[in-house]
Amino acid sequence: MSQEVHPAGSLKQHTIWQDGQMPEPCTVVIFGATGDLTQRKLLPTLAHLLHDHPLPEGFSVVAFARRPMNDEQWRGMALDSINKYMPDNDKLDREAQHDFAQRMYYCQSDFNDREGYEKLADILERLDREKGTQGNRMYYLATPPTLDSEIIFQLGGAGLARPAAGQYGDEESWTRIVIEKPFGRDLASAQKLNREIARVFHERQTYRIDHYMGKETVQNLLAFRFANGIFEPLWNQKYIDHVQIVVAESLGIGSRAEYYEEAGAIRDMVQNHIMQVLCLTTMEAPVAFDADAIRDEKVKVLRAVPLLTPEDVAKRTVRGQYTAGVINGQPQVSYKEEKGVSPASQTETYVALKLFIENWRWAEVPFYIRTGKALPKRSTEVTIQFKRVPHMLYKPAETKGLVPNRLTIRIQPDEGISLKFAAKVPGAARHLNDVDMNFSYSEAFGIESPDAYERLIADCMVGDSTLFIRRDEVETQVQVEVSKR
């Protein structure tokens, strides 16, 4: 059956649940509930899920944070956030806001206070009885990475990490934990964090989230490569000259100085988002469309990327910081002038590097990676540049300015795919020009793409870990390093 096409601007609502699979009743516990990630992303996402997609009647949210507050004060804060940060076309009416607010509860505690976790356990047990959440729990760590170990330890100590078999009928309840990047500063710290997680949670309970994996255009890399017969035969070192992956951000670091001084562009972008895009672009076809089969192939790619030696760092990398200027008509201070940044900071806000993948498919094909903040425009794309024809039939004057064939996958903001190729200019002369063949998501499907966090939170609710990061992926991708700070 062909896809019904709708004109741009007339987008239908997408369906978030795969094959009609519905989540079981559950409680989402957000650690760091008063922080920026929760206010800007998680609360609007949960409100949109509840309002536009059927969720079980007992679905509840518990906020866990340090700030003194009661349930009603938290509900007011949550509604302020969704009204501020939800897109205008997704705004909730008064009835929907009331419904969302009544599902919200608050637990005030320091993250290292055992009594706070005991209080959380009491709240969760009460919701199981009153709302029918059946012991199903999702813990979301929307906290600085320095708190991950402590929260995980405390959850284990309070008996909140393991589902209790048989307490809620014939089916065992489930408990899952969602952990945000970065997953360690280097291999040693990544392995340490993974050991701490494994002492408390099984790997099947652990959902390491990279929101880039929730983007439709990133997921479409698999469909583009493995559901079409025309490109995969060319997807190798015989036909491809090089690959470029660019993640350009137009904003500076904002209020994230404490985090960014520790992370820099390498840990913030390259070791997670960009490595995931690289894997989907270059991996072999999985034996099945399931979580472990796909992640097995991604790990093979990561293991084939040689570690950068000091000589490689000197020859194949560039690091920089943004200076003061104007972006989109707005003044932008330099990185060292940002609040919370040391005037002597050597943290990179821009990095460019050249990598290789040492396997049969990609031998000697360079991969050029660039990412940075406070750049002229926001853009994320993958460009595959093919090799030139072995012999040009046309004269140099007829092909002046002609570039090699390029396939560009636009991840954001104008999601789509374009293919650049040569075509003859109409007329008696044999002049050739570059032309583009374009595919646009918004024009082709007439369906609104789900937000990345919405896609991933929904997947976690139903226990689908395909788009999440496995332990061995973390320990491999974190080894892509440019400097030792």
Q: What is the pLDDT of residues 75-96, one digit of tens each?
A: 999 998 888 887 766 677 788 8
Q: What letter represents residue 268's amino acid?
A: D
Q: 401 pLDDT band (50/70/90 cuts)? A: confident
Q: 116 pLDDT band (50/70/90 cuts)? A: very high
Q: The domain 25-173: what is its CATH number?
A: 3.40.50.720
Mean per-residue pLDDT for 437-452?
A: 80
Confidence at residue 83, expressed as pLDDT on a 0 to 100 scale? 87
Distance CA 185, CA 447 (A): 39
* Sequence-ordered list of residues with C-beta below 8 angstroms from that of 171, at least 6 positions apart, any chain: none
Distance CA 51, CA 33 (A): 20
Q: Which CATH number fits domain 214-477: 3.30.360.10, 3.30.70.370, 3.30.530.20, 2.40.110.10?
A: 3.30.360.10
H or E element at residue 177: strand 175-180
Q: 158 pLDDT band (50/70/90 cuts)? A: very high
Mean per-residue pLDDT for 450-467?
A: 89
Residue 21 exposed, middle or buried by CB count within 10 Å (0-12, 13-18, 19+): exposed
Give the CA-trace dihedral at 231, 236, 242, 245, to 10 degrees: 60
Residue with tokens 């991604």: 298
Q: Quick one: which of 391, 475, 482 has its CA closest to 186?
A: 475
Helix 43-52 and helix 71-85, axial crossing angle in degrees, nearest 10: 80
- How does DSSP classify residue 20? G
CB atoms within 10 A of CB 396: 8
Question: In the chain, what are the domain boundaries?
Answer: 25-173, 214-477
Q: 399 pLDDT band (50/70/90 cuts)? A: confident
Distance CA 386, CA 406 (A): 6
Average pLDDT, the chain: 87
Confidence at residue 359, expressed as pLDDT on a 0 to 100 scale? 95
Distance CA 61, CA 30 (A): 8
Measured CA to CA in angstroms, residue 54 lies from 93, 96, 110 at distances of 17, 13, 34
Question: Bigger pLDDT: 117 or 14?
Answer: 117
Dig out the tokens for 22 from the structure: 């519905």
Mean per-residue pLDDT for 330-351?
A: 91
DSSP string computed for 117-158: HHHHHHHHHHHHHHH--TT-EEEEE-S-GGGHHHHHHHHHHT
Q: Is the pLDDT confidence value at 485 over 50?
A: no
Distance CA 234, CA 257 (A): 43
Confidence at residue 19, expressed as pLDDT on a 0 to 100 scale? 63
Q: Is the pLDDT confidence value at 358 over 80?
A: yes
CB 467 within 8 A of CB 221: no
Confidence at residue 90, expressed as pLDDT on a 0 to 100 scale? 67
Confidence at residue 14, expressed as pLDDT on a 0 to 100 scale? 55
Residue 473 CB-half CA count within 13 A: 30
Confidence at residue 1, expressed as pLDDT on a 0 to 100 scale? 34
Confidence at residue 100, expressed as pLDDT on a 0 to 100 scale? 86
CB 27 within 8 A of CB 137: yes
Q: 4 pLDDT band (50/70/90 cuts)? A: very low
Residues 201-250 have pLDDT tens digits of 999 999 999 988 988 888 889 999 999 999 999 999 999 999 999 999 99
**What SS3 state is found at 312?**
helix
* Sequence-ordered list of residues with C-beta below 8 angstroms from that of 268, at least 6 positions apart, any chain: 182, 260
Confidence at residue 482, expressed as pLDDT on a 0 to 100 scale? 58
Distance CA 230, CA 259 (A): 44
Mean per-residue pLDDT for 265-286?
A: 92
The phi, psi pair for 106, rounded to 5°, reads: -130, 140
Q: Is the pLDDT confidence value at 153 over 70?
A: yes
Residues 10-44 have pLDDT tens digits of 444 556 656 667 778 899 999 999 888 999 899 99
CB 478 within 8 A of CB 469: no
CB 412 within 8 A of CB 215: yes
Q: 484 pLDDT band (50/70/90 cuts)? A: very low
Helix 148-157 and helix 187-200, axial crossing angle in degrees, nearest 10: 20
Lowest mean pLDDT among 64-68, 282-286, 307-311: 307-311
Residue with tokens 């988002």: 273
Q: Which residues are catalytic?
A: 273
Q: Is the pLDDT confidence value at 324 over 70?
A: yes
Residues 53-67 have pLDDT tens digits of 777 888 999 999 999
Q: 285 pLDDT band (50/70/90 cuts)? A: very high
Q: Is the pLDDT confidence value at 434 over 70?
A: yes
Burial readout 346-372 (b: 16 or more C-beta within 10 A, e: otherwise): ebbbbbbbebbbeeebbeebebbbbbb
Confidence at residue 279, expressed as pLDDT on a 0 to 100 scale? 95
Angle CA 212–455–10, to nearest 5: 100
Lowest mean pLDDT among 15-19, 146-150, 435-439: 15-19
Confidence at residue 257, expressed as pLDDT on a 0 to 100 scale? 84
Percent of the chain whose predicted confidence (pLDDT) is above 70: 92
**What SS3 state is found at 175?**
strand
Q: 7 pLDDT band (50/70/90 cuts)? A: very low
Distance CA 115, CA 132 (A): 25
Q: How far apart are the first and last CA of the chain?
A: 55
